[in-house]
């Protein structure tokens, strides 16, 4: 399992556009993805879960990835949270 | 109009969600409420049937959205495409499927009741979220829910035909309804619910349809065929306006539409010369509101973020936490554009109630700007800590004001480095490579630009103060106002020196004084080699327009012509004639 914590950039956090991008990114990998903040934890394959998770700008979230392609998946997730999210 | 004049004029207030003005006829849309059937399933084969119905309804719903998406008129509209993509993801969401299946399998509801129940639950969850933007996604969930229900056979036909100049009055308009409406006929939206962050607002904005949303119950007063003015610049609906009022708004509408067309035509265009030299247009701001406006005008970043506002709106010195929250908010709203934060620049002319400075003979030559900060390290360090801590959320640059010699700069940098060390010791994150620069607004700094350039990452020329100091003219003094001329050759020589020293030392340089927004100065400054201009947001389209119509060689020619002139008056005359 690869587990990393990211700070969410962009005032509205993971809103509709980035959530759509995130779900689609996750679907490209065989690994399973979990997002955690405090005691909340969700699977990243669901748009509804991501939106209702309510991650807003400035929050820290931890992403756990498990599966045969977890290394590549983790790189893609890192790129998403550090480079892509704040531009969406 | 005769019918309208008989009715009483009414005003309704709401949220101006998509700016513009529309004058038209009300069409009131009523929503049919879908109610549960209450049917419980008897056996396994019924359950299997209902699950199949649900799967088919999802399939048909996705197909419908794909069709709307492929509609030629929408292809060019990025916002529409993205919202429809989101709706497809919501429709095919695994969690939605699991929940609905569960309602059918375990609670033995039919597909319609299961969808009503689950959508209702999700909407409730969204309504409880803290963030306004995420909360507004409840409308999207309701929208896909209604679509599934329609495909499950509930009577919910939203096919409408509209007369020209229709203004839609509704409890709420869903995003896909906005996309389905023929916009040749519909010229405005008024709703009871919704707000600035709803997808309806985003779509209305992208299609330039004036919309006033979230008006509440007063909307019920509006009757079918009432004459309506939607003033979505101010968030006002005028029902049955007088003839005078209509005339007034016709003029307002023309002005607004013309201005918008001009701004829109320039917003996405990068500022570059006819021969392809790129110029960066930045803004001077004091608040997050200014930042939003900057982005609306197409700014590429903030060249000067004045932090005095934060201190002036406080009863005591703002704490590190208060400042941190403020800077963080700016960073999070900045869409990853660079923000140059100027550390506090107070002095005799900008006093604070809680920080009384002794009366000075010459406040402009007195205890001010960095001089105060170097003396009162506590004030300075608190601000630097807050800025550094917030720097992880965006792209900040730190700028010191009123630097007049290299010694002051070194002291300020030393304090900054000590502050960084303190944060590191406490494991507090910040942008380790945050650029540091100075305002060039004192003649001694402008003359020493070659030395200063070696110790900073950027310069920003404050032409207002620089001009006052060079010419020894107080620009607020009416009697000698004529003597204040930023186009005086002495001022221009120093500005040019700063720009070329920055260039030779490979650091960036911008101008954040009024000269940057003066159309007479644009070509001249470009000719000196300036590539960054920082100004008030509304000046951006005007300056961009000049840049787009100038070649770099033309600009060079302007500067070499000006260099041959020996006084400010002829230079001003020459530059005005160029316009």
Measured between beta carbons, which residues in chain B are less than 8 angstroms from residue A47?
86, 89-90, 93
Banded pLDDT at B8 (limits 50, 70, 90)? confident
A82 touching chain B per CB within 8 A: no
Measured between beta carbons, which residues in chain B are less than 8 angstroms from residue A48?
90, 93, 95-96, 122, 141
DSSP label at residue B358: P
Per residue of chain A (88 residues), what is the pLDDT tens digit? 999 999 988 777 888 889 999 999 999 999 999 999 988 899 999 999 999 898 888 889 999 999 999 999 999 999 999 888 877 7
- pLDDT, one tens digit per residue, over B379-394 is 999 999 999 999 999 9
Give the closest-approach CA distance of B47 to chain A in angstroms: 25
Q: What is the mean pLDDT of the segment spanning B370-381?
A: 95
Task: Give the best residue of B69, B87, B93 to mutate against chain A (max A CB count within 10 A).
Answer: B93
Give the pLDDT of residue B73: 62
Give the pLDDT of residue B76: 65
Q: Residue B332 and residue A52: Cβ atoms within 8 Å?
A: no
- Which range (A54-68, B47-61, B356-370, B399-413) has the least confidence? B356-370
Give the pLDDT of residue B480: 85
Helices in B7-137 by DSSP H: which ranges?
Answer: 44-70, 72-75, 78-91, 94-105, 111-127, 132-135
- pLDDT, one tens digit per residue, over B171-224 is 888 887 787 777 778 999 999 988 877 888 888 887 889 999 999 999 999 999
Q: Residue A54 and residue B328: Cβ atoms within 8 Å?
A: no
CA–CA gap between residue B100 and residue B93 (Å, rounded): 11
Q: What percent of chain B has pLDDT over 90?
A: 65
Give the pLDDT of residue B159: 61
Catalytic entry in A2, A9, A15, A32: A15
Report the predicted TM-score, pTM, of the whole model to 2 decimal places.
0.72
Asked if the model's pLDDT at residue B139 lies above 80, the reply is yes
Instruction: Select from B130, B137, B267 the least CA-distant residue to B206.
Output: B267
- pLDDT, one tens digit per residue, over A12-33 is 788 888 999 999 999 999 999 9
Give the pLDDT of residue B348: 65
Mean pLDDT of chain B: 90
β-strands A2-7, A60-66: how paired?
A: antiparallel
Give the pLDDT of residue B5: 47
- pLDDT, one tens digit per residue, over B515-554 is 999 999 999 999 999 999 999 888 898 899 999 999 999 9
Q: Residue B82 and residue A17: Cβ atoms within 8 Å?
A: yes
Q: Which residue of B has its CA nearest to A19?
A: B86
Q: Residue B86 and residue A20: Cβ atoms within 8 Å?
A: yes
Q: Residue A11 and residue B333: Cβ atoms within 8 Å?
A: yes
Asked if the model's pLDDT at residue B156 lies above 80, the reply is no
A45 touching chain B per CB within 8 A: yes
Give the pLDDT of residue B357: 82
β-strands A32-37, A40-43: how paired?
A: antiparallel
Mind giving me the DSSP string for B36-68?
A: ----B--SHHHHHHHHHHHHHHHHHHHHHHHHH
Q: Which residue of A has its CA nearest to B81?
A: A17
Give the pLDDT of residue B292: 86
Q: Residue A12 and residue B133: Cβ atoms within 8 Å?
A: yes
- End-to-end Cα distance, chain A: 28
Give the closest-approach CA distance of B395 to chain A in angstroms: 11
Catalytic entry in B215, B373, B467, B512: B512
Q: How many CB atoms lie within 10 A of CB B105?
A: 16
- The ipTM is 0.90
A15 catalytic residue (yes or no): yes
Q: What is the mean pLDDT of the segment spanning B416-432?
A: 96
Residues of B with CB under 8 A from a CB of A: 82-83, 85-86, 89-90, 93-96, 122, 125-126, 129-131, 133-134, 137, 140-141, 197, 199, 328-329, 331-333, 335-336, 392-394
Measured between beta carbons, which residues in chain B are less than 8 angstroms from residue A6?
none
- Which range (B135-139, B249-253, B442-446) has the least confidence? B135-139
Give the pLDDT of residue B4: 44
Measured between beta carbons, which residues in chain A are less than 8 angstroms from residue B85?
20
Give the pLDDT of residue B74: 60
Comparing CB atoms, the residue among A15, A47, A57 nearest residue B93 is: A47
- pLDDT, one tens digit per residue, over B61-114 is 999 999 888 875 666 677 888 888 999 999 999 999 999 999 999 999 999 999
- pLDDT, one tens digit per residue, over B470-524 is 999 987 778 888 889 999 999 999 999 999 999 999 999 999 988 999 999 999 9
The number of C-beta contacts closer than 8 angstroms across A and B is 79
Q: Residue A10 and residue B335: Cβ atoms within 8 Å?
A: yes
- End-to-end Cα distance, chain B: 46
Asked if the model's pLDDT at residue B413 lies above 70, the reply is yes
H or E element in which residue B306 lies? strand B302-306
- Residue B255 sits at the vertex; the CA angle it makes with B252 and B260, to the nearest 5 degrees, is 120
Q: What is the mean pLDDT of the segment spanning B434-451?
A: 97
Give the closest-approach CA distance of A25 to chain B in angstroms: 12
CA–CA gap between residue B32 and residue B311 (Å, rounded): 53
Q: Which residue of A has its CA nearest to B78?
A: A17
B320-356 burial, b for 16+ CB within 10 Å, e for fewer? eeebbebbbbbbbbbeebbbbbbbbbbbbebebeeee
């Amino acid at each position: 399992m690869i587990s990393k914590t990211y700070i969410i950039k962009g005032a509205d956090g993971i809103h509709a556009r980035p959530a759509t991008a995130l779900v689609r990114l996750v679907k490209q990998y065989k690994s399973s993805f979990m997002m955690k903040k405090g005691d909340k934890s969700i699977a990243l394959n669901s748009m509804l879960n991501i939106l209702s998770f309510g991650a807003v700008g400035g929050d820290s979230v931890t992403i756990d990835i498990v599966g045969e392609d977890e290394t590549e998946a983790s790189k893609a997730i890192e790129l998403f949270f550090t480079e892509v999210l704040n531009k969406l | 109009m005769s019918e309208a004049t008989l009715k009483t004029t009414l005003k309704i207030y709401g949220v101006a969600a998509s700016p513009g003005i529309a004058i038209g006829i009300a069409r009131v849309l009523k929503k049919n409420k879908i109610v549960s059937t209450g049917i419980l399933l008897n056996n396994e084969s019924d359950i299997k049937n209902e699950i199949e119905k649900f799967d088919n309804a999802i399939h048909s719903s996705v197909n419908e959205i794909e069709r709307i998406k492929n509609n030629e008129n929408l292809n060019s509209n990025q916002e529409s495409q993205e919202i429809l993509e989101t709706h497809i993801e919501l429709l095919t969401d695994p969690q939605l499927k699991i929940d609905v299946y569960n309602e059918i399998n375990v609670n033995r509801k039919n597909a319609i009741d299961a969808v009503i129940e689950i959508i209702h639950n999700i909407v409730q969850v969204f309504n409880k979220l803290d963030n306004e933007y995420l909360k507004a996604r409840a409308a999207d969930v309701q929208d896909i829910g209604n679509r599934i229900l329609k495909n499950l056979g509930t009577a919910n036909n939203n096919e409408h035909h509209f007369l020209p100049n229709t203004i839609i009055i509704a409890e709420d308009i869903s995003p896909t309804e906005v996309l389905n409406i023929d916009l040749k006929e519909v010229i405005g939206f008024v709703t009871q619910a919704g707000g600035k962050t709803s997808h309806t607002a985003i779509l209305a904005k992208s299609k330039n349809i004036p919309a006033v949303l979230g008006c509440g119950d007063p909307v019920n007063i509006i009757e079918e065929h009432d004459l309506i003015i939607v003033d979505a610049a101010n968030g006002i609906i005028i029902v049955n306006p007088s003839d005078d009022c209509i005339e007034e708004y016709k003029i307002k509408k023309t002005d607004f539409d013309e201005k918008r067309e001009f701004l829109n035509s320039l917003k996405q265009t990068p500022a570059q010369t006819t021969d392809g030299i790129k110029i960066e247009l930045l803004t001077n701001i004091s608040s997050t509101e200014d930042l939003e406006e900057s982005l609306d005008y197409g700014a590429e970043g903030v060249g000067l973020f004045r932090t005095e506002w934060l201190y002036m709106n406080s009863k005591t010195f703002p704490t590190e936490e208060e400042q941190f929250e403020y800077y963080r908010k700016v960073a999070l709203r900045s869409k990853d554009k660079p923000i140059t934060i100027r550390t506090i620049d107070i002095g005799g002319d900008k006093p604070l109630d809680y920080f009384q400075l002794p009366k000075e003979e010459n406040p402009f030559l007195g205890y001010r700007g960095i001089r105060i900060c170097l003396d009162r390290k506590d004030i300075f360090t608190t601000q630097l800590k807050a800025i550094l801590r917030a720097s992880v959320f965006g792209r900040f640059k730190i700028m010191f004001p009123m630097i007049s010699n290299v010694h002051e700069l070194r002291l300020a940098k030393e304090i900054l480095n000590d502050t960084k060390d303190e944060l590191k010791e406490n494991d507090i994150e910040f942008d380790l490579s945050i650029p540091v620069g100075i305002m060039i607004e004192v003649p001694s700094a402008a003359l020493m630009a070659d030395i200063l350039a070696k110790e900073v990452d950027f310069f920003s020329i404050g032409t207002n103060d620089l001009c006052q100091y060079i010419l020894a003219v107080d620009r607020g003094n009416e009697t000698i106002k004529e003597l204040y001329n930023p186009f005086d050759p002495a001022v221009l020589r120093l500005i040019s020196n700063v720009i070329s020293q920055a260039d030779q030392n490979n650091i960036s340089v911008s101008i954040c004084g009024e000269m940057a927004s003066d159309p007479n100065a644009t070509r001249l400054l470009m000719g000196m080699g300036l590539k960054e201009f920082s100004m008030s947001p509304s000046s951006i389209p005007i300056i961009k327009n000049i840049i787009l119509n100038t070649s770099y060689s033309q600009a060079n020619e302007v500067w070499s012509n000006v260099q041959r002139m020996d006084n400010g008056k002829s230079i001003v005359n020459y530059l005005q004639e160029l316009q």
